[in-house]
Every structure is written in C-alpha cells, then in structure tokens.
Amino acid sequence: MGFLVKRCVFSVFFGLVFSSRILGQSPFSADVDSLILRGIDQTFACEFDSALATFQEVTDRYPDHIVGTFYQAATLQSKMMDYETDRWERDFFRLVEKAIRMGKRQIEKGEEDPWTYFYLGSIFSYKGLYQAKAGDLISGFLSARKGLECLKRALEMNSTLYDACLGLGSYKYWAGRFYRYLRWLPWIRDEREEGVRLVRLSVARGTFSYWVGVNSLGWIEYDRKRYRMALELFLKGLGKYPGSRFFIWGMADSYFKLGNYMRAVEIYQGLLASILSADLNNGYNEAECRLKLVMAYFGLGQYEEAFRQCDAILGRRVEKKIAKRLKNHYKQAEEYRKRCLEALGRRKVIRE
C-alpha cells in the first residue's frame, strides 16, 4: 500500500476515533470531557505517551465504559502509524478486543444509547482499517462493515451525531476508491461523492471533530488531485496544531504537487530532521522523506543534492521487514540516481 494511501487511511482512523462530544449532551462529566480534549490535542501534537496517560485517567474515571479503552487503542494506533512500525501491535489488538467486549457488555446490560454504538462502531471500523493497512483488505472490510452498522444505529438514535457522519463518509469515499478491486463484494459500492458530502457535513456541523474532519477532507481533496484546496486545509490544521506531522506531510506533498519544489524541499528537510532525531527511526519514514527530497531537488535541477539523497536511501541499513516494504523506494532511488548522473554528464559536456 502506497504512502499516500497510508496517510489517507490514517485520516480515516483519526476521523473515526478522535471525536469526543457531539452537538448535544456528553454522557460524561465536564472534567472527563476536558481530559478527552487534552488527549486529542496531545495526539495531534504527536505527544503519544502523554495522550496515553491522559486517556488512562479517563479509564480510571469510567472503568466499566468503553470510552477510555477506546481512546487508548486509538492513540496507540496513531503512534504506530506516525513511526511506521507495528512494535505495539499486540497491545493495540488487546485494547481493541477489550473495547469491543466492553461495548457489547454495555448493550447486553441495557445501556443502549447512541454513544455506546458510536464507540463500538468506531472501534470495529478502526480494527478493520488496521487490517486493511496491513494488507488484509477482505478481513478489514468485514470488520469495518460491523462498525458501519453500529455507526448507522447511532445516527438512527441521534441524528445530530455528526461525528458519525465523518466516519461513514470517510469509509464511503475510500471504499469507493478501491471499488474496482473489490466490486465482487456485494456491500462495496462506489459512493465517493456521498462520502465527500458526509465528511463536509461533519466539518460544518460537528463540534470536537472539526479538526479531524479538516485532516480527512484534506487527504480526500489531495486524492482527487485538488491540490490547492488540499493545501488550504492542511495549512488551516497547522494554524491550530503547529508542528503536527499529520498536517505537515500533507502540506509538503501538496506544495510538491503544485510545483513549488523550493517550499517542498524546505518542509521535507524539516521533517527529515525530526525523523532523524526521534527516539524511534526504523528507516521507513526516513527513506520516504528522502525520496520526496530526491524528486523535489530533481525538479529544481539540483542534481547533486538529489544524487546525495539517492545514495543515502540506498546506503541505509534497515531490518529485512522494513527493506521489503522499501522495495519500491530502492527501485526509484536507483532510477533517479541514473537520471542524475545523466543530467550531470550532459551539464559537464555543455560546460566544456
């Protein structure tokens, strides 16, 4: 699965799980609402350990409710996607299954309300999207289908639960994106236009899912090749969350697609510095960022710089599992390396 799709899948995850209170009454106390908002802000800022601690406080306040476990699973998944690792996968699935059990238990006990269905539907969809990202599309769509039924039930019980529209809309768009591969599944249809409408509705009418919706819509517009509109959305997100890598990647990629290679290089260099200084760097994000720099430098005619980045990609030692995922990166780096040498050779001949 390509890097663009992974970032877009993240926006679906984020749209499904980082929505806390909808127009209407929250079932939690005001201080717990504040904790949830704090955890969301910490996750956007990539302060994952702090967010996990914050959501643990939510779990401590409501030990029998799905909410705290749900947000812990969401945070852990965001951490794995940001670092491009499956290091915490076992803990993630443990939390996911625990949240599913808790949600089902609440319904069995008669605690049937739109919130329970919203969280249960989101965690099922969350599980499915993780499976899809890992390459198991069929299992992923089967899990996501269970989640969609719960989200629809939540909307039936509370039509103003607009954050559920965000989850449904994101699913409809990206399921439509893969429709040509999955059209033999009877419940998969190309409903991308309806998906965009629902995501926009959630942005316009939702409350605490606004910035999540902005991120989701940004990647949708990017996928639709509406790069200027995508850029505006990512810049808006950075106005709220300066330094958030979830918006910075989109901003950099949008500038690149718009042909502003100089600005793209500046942003990718900043991202690369952040990646290299991180506690965890398995080489994947580094290779991705360097490859983007290769293409931007090449577009600027700075072939020496592009060549250096190619060498850095090809010379970086990584684990076998990561090397397998980087197979296409290595291929592109080799191709650009040759093109750089050819361009430099032509330039030398002209000078002589």
Average pLDDT value over all residues in the chain:
88
pLDDT given for residue 27 in this prediction: 78
Q: Where are the domains of the chain?
A: 3-229, 261-351
Kindly state the percentage of the chain with pLDDT values over 90.
64
**Helix axes of 210-223 and 192-205: crossing angle, nearest 10 degrees:** 150
**Cβ atoms of 201 and 209 closer than 8 Å:** no
Pick the more confident residue, 85 or 6. Answer: 85
180-204 confidence digits (pLDDT tens): 666 666 667 889 999 999 999 988 8
**Helix axes of 303-315 and 284-300: crossing angle, nearest 10 degrees:** 160
Among the listed ranges 165-169, 275-279, 330-334, 336-340, which one has the minimum average pLDDT value?
165-169
Pick the more confident residue, 182 or 134. Answer: 134
Among 3.40.640.10, 2.40.50.140, 1.20.90.10, 1.25.40.10, what is the CATH number of 3-229?
1.25.40.10
Residue 319 one-letter amino acid:
E
CA-CA distance, 348 to 103, in Å (whole number)? 68
**Helix axes of 245-257 and 3-17: crossing angle, nearest 10 degrees:** 140
The mean per-residue pLDDT over the stretch 121-128 comes to: 89
pLDDT given for residue 2 in this prediction: 47
**Cβ atoms of 18 and 209 closer than 8 Å:** yes
pLDDT given for residue 23 in this prediction: 37
